Structure 1
Amino acid sequence: MNDSIHLALAGNPNAGKTTLFNHLTGSHQHVGNYPGVTVEKKEGFHSHKDFAIQVVDLPGTYSLTAYSVEELVARDYLVNEQPDVVVNIVDAVNLERNLYLTCQFLELGVPLVIALNMVDAAEKRGISINATELSRLLGVPVLPIVARSGRGVPDLLDAVLAVSQEKKRPPTLLRYGSDIDYALRDCITLIEEGQLLTHCYPARWTALKILENDEQIISQVMRADARAGRQLLSLSETLTQHLRHTLDAYPEAVIADHRYGFIKAILRQGVVTRAFDEDRLYASDKIDKIVTHQVLGPLLMAAILFGLYSFTFNWSGFLVDALGYLFELLGAIAEISLPEGPLKSMLISGLIDGVGGVFGFVPIIMFMFFGIAVLEDSGYLARVAFMMDRIFHFFGLHGSSVMPFIVSGGIAGGCAVPGVLAARTLRSPKERMATLLTVPFMNCGAKLPVLTLIIGAFFADHQPAYMFLATLFTWTVALLAAKFLRLTVLKGESTPFVMELPPYRFPTLRGLFTHTWERTWQYIKKAGTVILGISILLWAMMTYPSLPAAEAEKFAVQQQLAAPPEAIAQLERQKAEAGLRHSLAGRIGLALEPISQYAGFDWRTNIALVGGFAAKEVIVSTLGTAYSLGETNPEDAAPLKERLAADPRWSPAAALAFLVFVMFYSPCFVTAVAIAKESGSWKWAFFSIGFNTTLASILAIAIFQAGQLLG
């Protein structure tokens, strides 16, 4: 390669930004987090005409005013990293709204290329866009593309190469009316005299952000020069009072109105023509008449959800069995090859039976993620959020709480940490806090292996039905808990909800496989790092301290005197169980048993549940280790679910109680940290741990005791 280019993809959510990123980078990409935040960072590489292009997919955002962490991350990246070119992906069907972000890129003066995406969908709606005229009026290249199919992408990359070789483009100056323009002039003078943030931003752009009450920019200005910062805030306050008195509006609203006025003026200059009546119903609208219907919509949603679980369990079974046989084979090889001792015990019980139990659920996770990717990429999940708003409002939550619930595992397979972070979009502090405290109830990807294990062991003939019912029960309990919180510790009125429904699209196989692999790989990495470390730690806790020498000698003498092989095997099992009881983990489990027995949990189950405080997947690996330590012949050991089903201490009632407890008890440690960070206080994290565990205990005890009475 002769040269390299740093390219950033930016745009509104649902504009096709990630689709273009996947088309460009394919498998040459990796996913991490931006420093200091848990917002996902995607980077990849592409080559075009002997240029190596580093591609960064920025978080979707509607604005560069930092009202949310996504907007803050996108803006900071553009300013601090200074990419060679910014490709602004614009939805051709919703051109006016998408160009609002474009205006802010123009004002910031970044090297810009506009990718006019989904022109095929616009054409089907009779919308024709003159990209050449739009480019002339905006002063930047505008290239029509279809990111899903790659149409127009080579021309887009040609424009990227051309812009990367040009000199820095000066910022575009938009006019905002005499009141704001005069205030901007005074602010710019102060900013330029004090050299306030001029190394980062154009002076006029900084002035605009101050008038828009951008907290981050104001904070940076105050740190740089507090005296000048107070003067700027005084000018902003004077303007605010004047606009409130004369127009009954805030500066932010007036600035937004003028930006949209600028956009409309451009679009009316022969840029957009329509062949059909704007009131015509298009395919997406016709589908939505059924999909979002008050009665048919929820029924269809339930059917789709049940279909997802049926697809997952019916098609992943053979792969789960194959992985199970693989780990059994590894255990048998280790049993034959390794000498007796702690290393052999750790490898077989801690690693193969423990972590192997978690890895065994990778096929189920993969199929689940694939199904969710279909729903997400098609645009259906946005309809789920729209329909659920009516229900959420009744329970004191905001419609925007729906997406944090879904992200956390509302359909199954998410993660509570990004769900907690997604609640940042809520403006009402009490609705936001109620969302933070209830999203951990969702069935995240960490709980899936546990649910799959128990359902497979005790309700194998009806796995999709039980998974479907578990999801409904999770949502019901979460909403009731939210209602309780909103009536007690978080009293307050609900705020209205407005959202835009993206058009339906056929998902591409490449996009589906990319999304599935990204999420599955995250699960595999967690199982191979965090879960591995915790499993080895718990194995040590379940092994040490070992039995006292006198008691071990007693078992040895009994084995020497025992004749039948069955008697020797029975003594081995008794010795292994005595060793587990004597270990640190065993003592903790036994100490909890006087309480947990009312929910049907014995001391061995308690060990797994304690491990689940760190990460829910650990429950499976800990159960695998605990039951493996009690086996005398690992070669003949049955899969974990068969061991649980054969254990007389387990029953269907105990299994249901266990499922419910796992679904609702304390959030994992990382989620608790996220709650503390987002709420600004550890008291809410501890409240979540205590409230969730108390609720889970009550439900589990009620289910088990009812099962005992009915059984």
Structure 2
Amino acid sequence: MKKITAAIAGNPNSGKTTLFNALTGARQHVGNYPGVTVEKKEGSRIYKDCQINFIDLPGTYSLTAHSIEEVVARDYIINENPDVVVNIIDASNFERNLYLATQLLELNVPLILVLNMADVAKKQGYSFDTEKLGSFFNARAILTVASKSEGINELLDSIIEKSQIQTEQTPSPLQIHYGEDIEREIDKLEKLVDKKHPFAKKYGARWLCLKLLEKDEQIIGLSQNREILNAAEQSISHLEKLYGDSPEILIAEKRYGFVSGVYEGAVVHTVQHRHQISDLVDKVLLNRVLGLPIFIIMMYLVFKLTFWIGAHPMVWIETGFAYLSNFISGLWPQGSENAVKSLIVDGIIGGVGGVVVFLPNIVLLFLAIAILEDSGYMARAAFLMDRIMKKIGLHGRSFIPMVIGFGCTVPAIMATRILDDRKSRLTTIMVLPLMSCGARLPIYTLFISAFFAVRWHAMVMLIVYMIGILIAIILSLLLRKTLLKGESGIFLMELPPYRMPTIRGMLTHAWERSWLYLKKAGTVILAISIVLWFMTTYPKASEEKLSGLSEQDIQKAQLQNSIAGRVGLAMEPAIKPLGFDYRIGTALIGALAAKEVFVAQTGIVFSISDSSGEESLTLREKLRANYTPLQGFCVMLFCLISAPCAATLAICRKETNSWGWALFQYLGLTAIGYTVTLIVYQTGSLFLG
């Protein structure tokens, strides 16, 4: 006869004792756990040729080890390794009881969720999707009424079934994501704990790291390595400074966010439930009719503030670079031609300066996004978008890398690893470059501020972002209907409680992302700018070609004779129908390396090609003098859709393990970008003359 050990865990007053009695009848005895005066109840039952031994663990609200009951329950589960853990949940108090289940999930135990008092919950208006609930916890979810012995046989069948699954295979651990900052600290600690903690294998490195961050006294006592404890203290201090709260509170909030997500996903209908502040706000922000318009208005305000506040510092930086350019030019005799002077003024200042000018907009955009993320609103935006994602055949979890894609496409593609379904993952990777990354923001800011009135800046920016999202939706739908057919899986969207972001946290998050942009401008873009300056300057045109030309025509002839100019002229017949000339063509070449380089190369081209009489003009003024608003919009459109940067191509190849998919994305998006831009420019030209 097979023997199975089942531990019964649950909150006090969840009906745990009633269920234990219904399962074991008179076959039970009571004693104390070794070394503590905590009651230990054991019982057994013969069912389908199996002897199931039940251990009724002390009633606890969590496993954080704040009380002796919590320590006893946790130690039994970890040390005794029961075949199954049966978590009793008061179905009429679902959200509160589910917190314990999140901690059992983190222990990666073979779990069965029992929603007891289902009759009371039904009277209160609750109805549960048990299949979806179980999928969130890699567990079976069962409705019972212990006082009437309803659901007992189903529970016994599930215990036998779960124990057999455990024998055959170990379930893949599911994890609650605690946010970028906490996860970063966990990753740091995990590497150290995995190598040096004496109980890393027994408890699991990640679980130990969480307990160390929560200042769990029992786990701290087990962690004898001073290096581990010091690292944990540093992580705790960093998170406290960042958020103004202890990691224990932050981690608990994320667990409750997970619980809220489970509630939204698994509770089919409720007539009565507890109303908290977050619930009341969510009634508006998550409203099926109002939610999406509010999100769009919110993003419009973000762009509005980005331009409005960023306008003045942008002009200051622009003016500063102009003064610097004039100062360095003044070190040489007026009208003299010097390669060093041209490299510094046209290549470095014209290239890198053109990118750095937009740093205020970058900082403000990331600051606004940090506020939305830290307050808890971005998770609500993800919940809203999840409904759309499902309709286009994508996994709801795809929205997470898409949000990351607004910062940078490379980590966004790496973030698709959270998707288990390969077809959903490939679809997401293919459309991620259509999320306007931070590298495109300087292009948008340059052309919007050059060609559109101030009152239209935010609206045009929003339109460009929405075009990318719309095309991504259409392409996802097409891919899921053709090359990548398949069903999308169930997704749990976590809804953390709203919180007031700390000033330190907001500034830190905004600066981290902005610093990466500035660092890129001072390294990668600087190097590429120097290369592009050389390509835009050499070879020089012969004296015969320049003979008899005006100063402006000489500059133009020199540019056209250069390597970049020749490539641009060769491209011009192909890009002219889009409204682009050879100068934009040369800038597009630079954008293949990194999107920001488009702005750098545009600055270099116009520094070299314009006559000396126009040197005091800003790049925006030069663009306005040479192109129309329609051409400016088409440049933004083409840069949005076409030819992802080299880093995106490389990471796509790595994550898909296929050059075929990488080139399909690269060439496919370029073809779509060309087609869409062609239609917009030619149609616009007809209406605008």
Q: Which of 412, 419, 423 is the aligned partner of 1:430?
A: 423
Structure 1 SS opposite 2:504: helix
CA distance in 1 between partners of 2:491 and 2:246 (Å): 36
Q: Distance in 1 between matches of 2:660 and 2:436?
A: 24
Residue aligning to 2:663? 686
How much has 1:657 moved relative to structure 2?
1.4
Asked whether the equivalents of residues 242 and 504 of structure 2 are also in contact (C-alpha less than 8 Å), the reply is no
Deviation at 1:394, TM superposition (A): 1.2
Matches within 5 A, 1:169-568: 279-338=273-332, 340-409=337-406, 414-461=407-454, 462-552=456-546, 554=547, 558=548
Task: Kindly indicate whether the alpha-carbon contact (under 8 Å) linking 1:631 and 1:637 is maintained by their aligned counterparts in 2.
Answer: no
Contact map agreement 2:541 2:558 (CA 8 A) in 1: yes
The 5 A counterparts of 1:565-604 are: 571-604=550-583
Contact 2:410 2:647 in 1 (8 A): yes
Q: How does 1:23-38 map to 2 (within 5 A)?
A: none
CA distance in 2, matches of 1:83, 1:427: 25
- Distance, in Å, in 1 between the alignment partners of 2:369 and 2:410 is 18
595 and 153 in structure 1: CA distance in 2 versus 1, 3 angstrom threshold: closer
CA contact (8 A) 1:657 1:699 kept: no
Which amino acid is 1:546 matched to?
A: K
**SS of the counterpart of 1:492?**
coil
Of the candidates 616, 619, 622, which is equivalent to residue 601 of structure 2? 622
Partner of 2:212: 113
Map 1:128-167 to 2 at 5 A: 147=240
Change (3 A) 1:115 1:607: same
The number of residue pairs the alignment matches comes to: 481
Deviation of the 1:375 alpha carbon: 0.3
Shift of 1:471: 1.5
Name the residue aligned to 2:67. none
What is the alpha-carbon distance in structure 2 between the residues aligned to residue 500 and residue 544 of structure 1?
A: 56
Q: Report the Cα offset of residue 81 of structure 1.
A: 3.3
Matched residue of 2:446: which SS?
helix
Deviation at 1:70, TM superposition (A): 9.4
Match of 1:670 among 644, 647, 651: 647
Residue of structure 2 in register with 1:640 after alignment = 619
Query: What CA deviation, in whole Å up to 9, does each residue of 1:476-505 have, x standing for no partner?
Result: 011111112222221222222222211111
Q: How far 1:76 sits from its partner (Å)?
A: 8.0
Q: Indicate if the aligned counterparts of 1:401 and 1:426 stay in contact, CA closer than 8 A.
A: yes
Paired residue type of 2:647: V
Letter in 2 for 1:620: V
Give the TM-score normalised by structure 1: 0.62
Residue number among 605, 612, 636 corresponding to 2:591 in the alignment: 612
Shift of 1:586: 0.7
Aligned partners of 1:136 and 1:701: how far apart in 2? 64
Cα distance in 1 for partners of 2:188, 2:503 equals 30
Q: Which residue of 2 aligns with 1:247?
A: none
Cα offset, 1:298, TM superposition: 0.8
User: What CA distance in whole angstroms lies between the structure 1 residues aligned with 2:511 and 2:245?
Assistant: 27
1:705 and 2:682 aligned: yes
How far the C-alpha of 1:632 sits from its partner, in A, is: 2.8
SS in 2 for 1:614: coil
Paired with 1:655 and 1:635, the residues of 2 have a C-alpha distance of 21
What do the CA deviations read for 1:52-94 (whole angstroms, capped 9, x no partner)?
xxxxxxxxx96896789999999986565348999xxxxxxxx
Distance (Å, rounded) in 2 between the aligned partners of 1:549 and 1:63: 78
Equivalent in the alignment of 2:23: none
8 Å Cα contact 1:332-1:634 kept in structure 2: no
- Taking the aligned partners of 2:621 and 2:540, their CA distance within structure 1 comes to 28
Gaps of 5+ in 2: 1-104, 109-171, 250-254, 256-271
Deviates more, 1:72-81 or 1:354-363: 72-81
Compute the displacement of 1:154 (Å).
12
User: Is the CA contact (8 Å cut-off) linking 1:68 and 1:425 kept in structure 2?
Assistant: no
1:237-283: CA deviation from partner (whole Å, max 9, x where unpaired): xxxxxxxxxxxxxxxxxxxxxxx9xxxxxxxxxxxxxxxxx952211
Q: What is the aligned partner in structure 2 of residue 56 from structure 1? A: none
Distance in 2, matches of 1:149 and 1:76, equals 17
Corresponding residue for residue 81 of structure 1:
192
- CA–CA distance in structure 1, aligned partners of residues 340 and 314 of structure 2: 27
Stretches of structure 1 that go unaligned for 5 or more consecutive residues are 1-60, 87-100, 117-130, 157-259, 261-277, 560-570
Summarize the Cα distance change of 1:150–1:73 in structure 2 as closer, same or farther, 3 Å threshold.
closer
What amino acid is aligned across from residue 441 of structure 2 in structure 1? Answer: L
What is the rounded CA distance, in whole Å, between the counterparts of 1:508 and 1:572 in structure 2?
56
Question: Structure 2: which amino acid aligns with 1:651?
Answer: T
Structure 2 counterpart of 1:469, which letter? I
Distance in 1, matches of 2:571 and 2:173, equals 48
Q: Please give the secondary structure, in 2, of the residue aligned with 1:499.
A: coil
Distance (whole Å) between structure 2 residues aligned to residue 641 and residue 376 of structure 1: 33
Distance 1:378 1:597, change over 3 A: same
Aligned CA distance change for structure 1 residues 654 and 68 (closer, same or farther; 3 Å): farther
SS at match of 1:392: helix
Q: 1:527 to 1:695 in 2, by over 3 A?
A: same
Is 1:349–1:629's contact at 8 Å kept on the other side of the alignment?
yes
Render the CA deviation track for 1:83-140: whole Å, top value 9, x for unaligned.
Answer: 8999xxxxxxxxxxxxxx9994489877963527xxxxxxxxxxxxxx88x8899999
Distance 1:434 1:651 in 2: 36
Secondary structure of the residue that 2:330 maps to in structure 1? helix
Report the secondary structure of 1:576's partner residue: helix
- The change in CA–CA distance for 1:150 and 1:642 in structure 2 (over 3 A counts) is closer
**Offset, 1:633:** 2.1
The structure number with the bigger radius of gyration is 2
- Partners of 2:208 and 2:219 within 8 A in 1: no
Distance 1:549 1:493 in 2: 67
Deviates more, 1:653-662 or 1:507-516: 653-662
Cα distance, 1:548 vs. partner? 2.1
User: What displacement does 1:641 show?
Assistant: 1.0
Instruction: Supply the AA of the counterpart residue of 1:316.
Output: G
2:139: which partner in 1? Answer: none
| 2:672 match: secondary structure | helix
- Normalising by structure 2, report the TM-score: 0.64
Matched, 1:657 2:651: no
Which whole-Å CA distance do the structure 1 matches of 2:297 and 2:397 have between them?
24
Task: Work out the CA distance in 2 between the residues paired with 1:111 and 1:399.
Answer: 27
Shift of the 115–347 alpha-carbon distance from structure 1 to 2, 3 Å rule, reads same
Q: Give the drift of 1:373.
A: 0.4
Distance verdict in 2 for CA 1:63–1:502, change over 3 Å: farther
- Alpha-carbon RMSD across the aligned residues, in angstroms, is 3.6
Q: Distance in 1 between matches of 2:446 and 2:220?
A: 61
Deviations 1:484-534 (A, max 9, x none): 222222122222222221111100001011111111111000000000111
Please say if residues 447 and 616 of structure 1, whose CA atoms lie closer than 8 Å, have aligned partners that are also in contact: yes
Alpha-carbon contact 1:608-1:618 (below 8 Å) kept: yes
Distance 1:79 1:314, change over 3 A: closer
Task: Give the whole-Å Cα distance in 1 for the aligned partners of 2:676 and 2:307.
Answer: 27
The whole-number CA distance in structure 1 between the counterparts of 2:210 and 2:298 is 44
Contact (CA 8 Å) 1:358, 1:449: kept in 2 or not? yes
